[in-house]
């Protein structure tokens, strides 16, 4: 299954716990205050599994994968 | 443990159920401590936060498996009459109704916590968290159950496991309370925090 | 009953009775400062409000009328009103209208003045909006200072039973972010004036789960006049692409600071002249609001007050604030004060805003005081704060700060060399910290 997806974060739910950036540093970095800066391009297919893991792992359920519509 | 010559299956059930009970107490205490560590973001510097989170999850699922063994062996044991209903309905067992009823209650709470955690993404954060608080109720209920349902507390090592577990959980609860106290300063109303204060506040935020 | 097209073809006798205002003022017509128009005065001045049928065809005709007029929202985002009406009208479920008079911007007074002087025009507009989307209820969220006048207006209308729509007024929360659309709905539902996460959109599921139309009170007042006098009339002032008039709050070192109504596209210097002109030599203008942009006075004064006219300066009319900064005040000090205010007014929900805004404010305060400041770190923080909250509060703060850094370049150099350059002039931007 190769649906194109993008990582998104709910900034209200996000607490800056930082688990996501530990698990997926290729797509997620932390700002000066520990909150995630997500790469806003679509998730490369080789990282899709990790992206799903990260969404599952967030303790605040703040991450989700958004479908990218064909431009 | 009293010497047993020629272990019969009945006595095997008896040992396993009581032995697993003590191990479970220690295990669930560690699960509580790991849960608090996950929430407060405190972990040894070399560990990743997701390691702590995953350990909490793994240990709790392992404890659930052991809990099944504990309950099944206790009920299957013909020496005491408990009845299968007592697995989920508290205080209906014939043997030591009060003490075992507490165990059942702990299982009920624990089951709610585990099931909602497995379905976390379906039910949403708020519902999940509301039920998860039951863990703080499940542990003392299980603890009292272990004091009253067990007969082995005269033994030094059993005594150590009981009160060692209590000490672990007490420490975790204190840490959790302190965490709440530290993070109750509303952000934005305070003057510009220093970098150190920011980092500290962030671990409590 | 009078439908929208009928208005444009109304025979003269009817028109003669209720004269459409040919020039300005339109919204603030008919009374002087400090006075409020009561119901009979309002009806005598403007005539009765035409009503539209509840059927879908009439609603569609009304929305098309608004579309032809080119009316855009006056809350700061300038969203085309007809699109908003259509979005709510097209939803399943019974919609509800929220008239947003919160005006969380402390420097802006236009909504309060409008509600105090022409409450019936705003209420008319709420009724028209309700008819356009098929709602039966409209809630007016207004500043506590004008609540009494609004309540009286509603009571008077109820006694005469002139509205098919139920009207009620609620006190607004007095916080900066409280005026944001989802914050208003949150305030009405739960008493908490903080923005909420955007899916679902308010047009689909808002107040009590119903499709909700949140419209600024000034927008509704224009709507009430368009309903009476038609789209062509509305387009009689302003520019072709941005028709109509707007309310502006003009403050600063001026002879007559206050709220004025001007045609969109009026030259900024002409607007300032209406306020009596400047008292001190002006250096810069803050345009739009605290979420808007600074511009050098000489550049801004020549531009038309419109989105197109100000776009080249990286600015916009926003919520109608024009704050004129005199040369004897330090622009960086004002910016630092506003930045600190915006930081304290964060809803406190999103990390980059909660931590980033105070960090920016601290850096600007240090800069304003003439101390060392780290430009690279400031730029990094601006990038890390922009666009990373659930609402546009941090974005607005970043825009304001970036524009200050672009406009007050001379001050930046002076501060780095020899400390703050203020010559003791009066601060102009109110920052009511702690007024919660």
C358:B192 CB<8 A:
yes
Give the residue from C355, C360, C380, C382 with the most A CB atoms within 10 Å of its CB, the best one to mutate. Answer: C355
Q: Does A57 touch chain B (CB under 8 A)?
A: yes
User: Does residue C328 contact residue C367 with C-beta atoms inside 8 Å?
Assistant: no
Q: What is the pLDDT of residue C420?
A: 77
Q: What is the pLDDT of residue B198?
A: 41
Give residue A58's domain range.
Answer: 5-67
Q: Which of C297, C293, C291 is nearest to C252 (CA)?
A: C297
C358:B191 CB<8 A:
yes
For B86-129, the pLDDT digits (tens) are 788 888 777 778 888 899 999 999 999 999 999 999 999 999 99
Q: Which residues of chain C have pLDDT under 50?
A: 1-16, 435-436
Q: What is the 3 state secondary structure string of chain C?
A: CCCHHHHHCCCHHHHHHCCCCCCCCCCCCCCCCCCCCCHHHHHHHHCCCCCCCCCHHHHHHHHHHHHHHCCECCCCCCCEHHHHHHHHHCCCCCCEEEEEECCCCCCCCHHHHHHHHCHHHHHHHHHHHHHHHCCCEEEEEECHHHHHHHHHHHHHHHHHCCCCCEEEEEECCCCHHHHCHHHHHHHHHHCCCCCCCCCCCCCCCCHHHCCEEEEEHHHHHHHHHHHHHHHHHHCCCECCCCECEEEEEEEECECCCEEEEEECCCEHHHHHHHCCCECCCEEEEEEECCCCEEEEHHHHHCCECCHHHHHCCCCCCCCCEEEEEECCCCHHHHHHHHHHHHHHCCCCCCHHHHHHHHHHHHHHHHHHCCCCCCHHHHHHHHHHHCCCCCCCHHHHHHHHHHHHHHHCHHHHHHHHHHCCCCCCCCCCCCCCCCCC
Tell me how far apart the alpha carbons of residues C242 and C209 are, in angstroms, rounded to a whole number.
34
Q: Which of B48, B125, B199 sits opposite A60 (nearest CB)?
A: B125
Q: Does B192 touch chain C (CB under 8 A)?
A: yes
Backbone angles phi, psi at B162, to 5 degrees: -55, -55
Q: Does A40 touch chain C (CB under 8 A)?
A: no
Tell me how far apart the alpha carbons of residues C251 and C256 are, in angstroms, rounded to a whole number.
8
Length of chain A: 71
Q: What is the pLDDT of residue C310?
A: 97
- Examine the pLDDT at B30 and tell me if it is beyond 60: yes
Q: Is C54 exposed, middle or buried (0-12, 13-18, 19+ CB in 10 A)?
A: exposed
- Examine the pLDDT at B149 and tell me if it is beyond 60: yes
C384:A10 CB<8 A:
no
A37:C356 CB<8 A:
no
Q: What is the ipTM of this complex?
A: 0.93
Give the CATH number for residue A20. 3.30.70.20
B188:C343 CB<8 A:
yes
Q: What is the pLDDT of residue C13?
A: 34
CATH architecture of C7-234: 3-Layer(aba) Sandwich (3.40)
- The C-alpha of B147 sits at a distance from chain A's nearest C-alpha, in angstroms, of 34
Q: What is the pLDDT of residue C405?
A: 96
Q: What is the pTM of this model?
A: 0.86
Tell me how far apart the alpha carbons of residues B134 and B113 are, in angstroms, rounded to a whole number.
7
Residues within 8 A of A (CB atoms), C 163-202 only = 196-197
Length of chain C: 436
Confidence of residue B184 (pLDDT cuts 50, 70, 90): low
Q: What is the pLDDT of residue B185?
A: 54
DSSP type of residue A34: S
- The C-alpha of C177 sits at a distance from chain B's nearest C-alpha, in angstroms, of 13
Neighbours of chain C (3+ CB pairs under 8 A): A, B
C390:A10 CB<8 A:
yes
Q: Is A37 helix (H, G, I), strand (E, B) or coil?
A: strand
A-chain CB neighbours of B49 within 8 Å are: 17-19, 22
- Examine the pLDDT at B49 and tell me if it is beyond 90: no
- Highest-scoring range by mean pLDDT, B50-54, B65-69, B193-197: B65-69
For B61-70, the pLDDT digits (tens) are 999 999 999 9
B52 token code pair: 């702590």
C354:B187 CB<8 A:
yes
Backbone angles phi, psi at C135, to 5 degrees: -90, 160
Structural domain spans, chain C:
7-234, 245-326, 331-418
C359:A32 CB<8 A:
yes
Of all residues in chain A, the one with the smallest CA distance to B197 is A33
Nearby residues of C62 by Cβ (< 8 Å), 6 or more positions away? C4, C52, C85, C128, C131, C132, C227
Element (H, E) at A30: strand A28-30
Q: What is the pLDDT of residue B200?
A: 39
- What does the pLDDT average to over A45-67? 93
Of all residues in chain B, the one with the smallest CA distance to A58 is B50
Q: What is the pLDDT of residue C123?
A: 98
Q: Which of B121, B128, B202 sits opposite A33 (nearest CB)?
A: B202
Q: What is the pLDDT of residue B196?
A: 36
Q: Does C384 touch chain A (CB under 8 A)?
A: yes
CATH architecture of C331-418: Up-down Bundle (1.20)
Of all residues in chain C, the one with the smallest CA distance to A31 is C384
When divided into structural domains, chain A yields a total of 1
B48:A57 CB<8 A:
no
- The C-alpha of A48 sits at a distance from chain B's nearest C-alpha, in angstroms, of 18
Tell me how far apart the alpha carbons of residues C336 and C357 are, in angstroms, rounded to a whole number.
11
Residue C172, CB-side half-sphere exposure with 13 Å CA sphere: 32
B188:C346 CB<8 A:
yes
Confidence of residue B83 (pLDDT cuts 50, 70, 90): confident
Of all residues in chain C, the one with the smallest CA distance to A9 is C388
Q: Is C35 exposed, middle or buried (0-12, 13-18, 19+ CB in 10 A)?
A: exposed
Residues within 8 A of B (CB atoms), C 362-391 only = 362, 365
Q: Which of C151, C97, C123, C145 is nearest to C42 (CA)?
A: C123
Q: Is B184 helix (H, G, I), strand (E, B) or coil?
A: coil
- Examine the pLDDT at B183 and tell me if it is beyond 80: no
B82 token code pair: 């408990």
A-chain CB neighbours of C349 within 8 Å are: 11-12
Residues within 8 A of C (CB atoms), B 167-186 only = 186
A33:C356 CB<8 A:
yes
CATH architecture of C245-326: Roll (3.10)
Element (H, E) at A9: strand A5-9
């Amino acid at each position: 299954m190769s649906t194109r997806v993008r990582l998104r974060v709910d900034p209200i739910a996000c607490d800056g716990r930082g688990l996501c950036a530990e698990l997926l540093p290729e797509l997620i970095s932390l700002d000066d205050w520990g909150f995630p800066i997500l790469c806003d391009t679509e998730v490369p297919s080789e990282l899709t599994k990790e992206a799903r893991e990260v969404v599952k792992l967030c303790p605040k359920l703040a991450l989700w994968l958004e479908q990218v519509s064909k431009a | 443990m009293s010497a047993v010559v020629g272990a019969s299956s009945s006595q095997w059930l008896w040992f396993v159920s009581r032995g697993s009970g003590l191990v479970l107490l220690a295990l669930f205490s560690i699960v509580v401590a790991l849960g608090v560590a996950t929430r407060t973001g405190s972990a040894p510097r070399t560990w990743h936060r997701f390691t702590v989170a995953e350990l909490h999850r793994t240990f709790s699922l392992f404890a659930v498996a052991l809990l099944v063994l504990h309950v099944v062996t206790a009920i299957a044991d013909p020496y005491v009459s408990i009845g299968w209903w007592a697995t989920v309905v508290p205080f209906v067992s014939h043997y030591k109704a009060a003490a075992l009823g507490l165990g059942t209650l702990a299982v009920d709470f624990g089951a709610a916590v585990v099931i909602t955690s497995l379905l976390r993404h379906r039910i949403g954060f708020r519902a999940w968290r509301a039920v998860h608080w039951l863990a703080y109720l499940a542990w003392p209920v299980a603890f009292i159950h272990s004091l009253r349902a067990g007969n082995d507390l005269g033994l030094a090592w059993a005594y150590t496991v009981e009160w060692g577990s209590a000490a672990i959980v007490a420490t975790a609860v204190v840490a959790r309370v302190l965490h709440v106290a530290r993070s109750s300063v509303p952000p934005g109303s305070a003057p510009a925090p220093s970098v150190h204060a920011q980092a500290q506040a962030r671990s409590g935020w | 009953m009078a439908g929208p097209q009928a208005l444009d073809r109304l025979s003269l006798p009817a028109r003669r009775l209720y004269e459409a205002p040919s020039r300005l003022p339109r919204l603030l017509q008919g009374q002087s400062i400090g006075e409020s128009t009561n119901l009979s005065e309002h009806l005598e001045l403007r005539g009765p409000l035409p009503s539209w049928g509840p059927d879908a065809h009439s609603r569609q005709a009304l929305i098309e009328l608004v579309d032809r007029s080119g009316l855009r929202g006056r809350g700061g985002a300038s969203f085309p009103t007809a699109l908003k009406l259509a979005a709510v009208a097209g939803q399943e479920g019974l919609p509800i209208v929220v008239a947003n008079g919160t005006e969380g911007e402390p420097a802006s007074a236009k909504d309060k003045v409008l509600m105090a002087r022409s409450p019936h025009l705003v209420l008319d507009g709420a009724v028209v909006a309700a008819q356009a989307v098929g709602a039966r209820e409209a809630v007016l969220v207004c500043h506590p200072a004008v609540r009494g006048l609004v309540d009286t207006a509603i009571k008077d209308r109820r006694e005469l039973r002139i509205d098919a729509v139920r009207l009620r007024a609620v006190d607004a929360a007095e916080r900066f972010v409280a005026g944001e659309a989802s914050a208003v709905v949150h305030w009405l539902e739960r008493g908490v004036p903080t923005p909420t996460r955007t899916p679902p959109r308010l047009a689909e599921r808002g107040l009590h789960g119903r499709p909700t139309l949140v419209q600024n009170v000034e927008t509704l007042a224009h709507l009430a006049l368009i309903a009476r006098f038609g789209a062509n009339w509305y387009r009689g002032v302003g520019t072709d692409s941005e028709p109509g008039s707007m309310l502006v709050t003009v403050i600063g070192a001026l002879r007559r600071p206050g709220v004025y109504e001007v045609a969109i596209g009026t030259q900024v210097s002409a607007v300032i002249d209406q306020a009596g002109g400047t008292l001190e030599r002006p250096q810069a203008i803050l345009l739009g609001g605290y979420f808007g942009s600074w511009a050098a006075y000489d550049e801004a004064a020549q531009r038309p007050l419109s989105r197109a006219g100000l776009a080249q300066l990286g600015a916009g009319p926003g919520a109608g604030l024009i704050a004129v900064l005199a040369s004897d005040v330090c622009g960086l000090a004002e910016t630092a004060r506003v930045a600190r205010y915006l930081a304290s007014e964060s809803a406190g929900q999103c990390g980059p805003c909660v931590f980033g805004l105070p960090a920016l404010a601290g850096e600007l305060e240090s800069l304003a005081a003439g101390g060392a400041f780290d430009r690279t770190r400031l730029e990094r923080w601006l990038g890390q704060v922009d666009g990373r909250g659930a609402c546009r509060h941090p974005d607005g703060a970043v825009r304001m700060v970036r524009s200050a850094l672009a406009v007050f370049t001379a001050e930046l150099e002076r501060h780095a060399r020899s400390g703050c350059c203020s010559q003791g002039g009066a601060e102009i931007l109110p920052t009511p910290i702690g007024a919660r």
